[in-house]
Amino acid sequence: MEKQILDILRTNSRISAKDLAVMLNTSEEEVNATIRQLEERGVILGYDTLIDWEKTDYDKVIAYIEVRVTPQRGQGFDKVAERIYQYPQVSACSLMSGSYDLFVVVEGKSMKEVALFVAEKLAPIDSVLSTATHFVLKKYKDNGIIFNRVSKDEREAVVL
């Protein structure tokens, strides 16, 4: 049942325990107990809201940054990743396989603000060898949710 709860919460974190219980054919108490255990074990770390920033009056720029680093002796990539993810501009930081080491998501009010963060904070870190910044121009899908879905016109044409 844990996996089913996690799958449902991943797509709709606002669903009620009552609705989950109906969907999973169990009691609301059992659902609440399972969610509480998942939170206590650190499986559920938080509940996120997906926002389409283009539909607001707020300025928001998102950049995906590929970072090549030199791993530190005895600590690997963890220490440099920890230093990077402490910045409030960093919304995500992951160790990757492939041609770069860390994948960093940075948010700012403008491209210039993000570029200054990379130039003044990220690139000067001793272990950082290089960065490649990619600005998000438009989101089509995020976290399984499609943005700007165009609804089909279901009306039938009438010919007179």
Question: DSSP 3-state assignment of 27?
Answer: coil
pLDDT digits (tens, 9 = 90+) for 66-103: 999 999 888 889 999 999 999 999 999 999 999 999 99
Domain residue ranges in the chain: 2-40, 53-137
- 65 within 8 A of 128, measured Cβ to Cβ: no
Question: What's the predicted TM-score (pTM) here?
Answer: 0.78
pLDDT digits (tens, 9 = 90+) for 107-147: 999 999 999 999 999 999 999 999 999 999 999 998 888 88
Rounded to 5 degrees, what angle do the CA atoms 122, 123, 125 make? 75
Give the CATH fold of the 53-137 domain: Alpha-Beta Plaits (3.30.70)
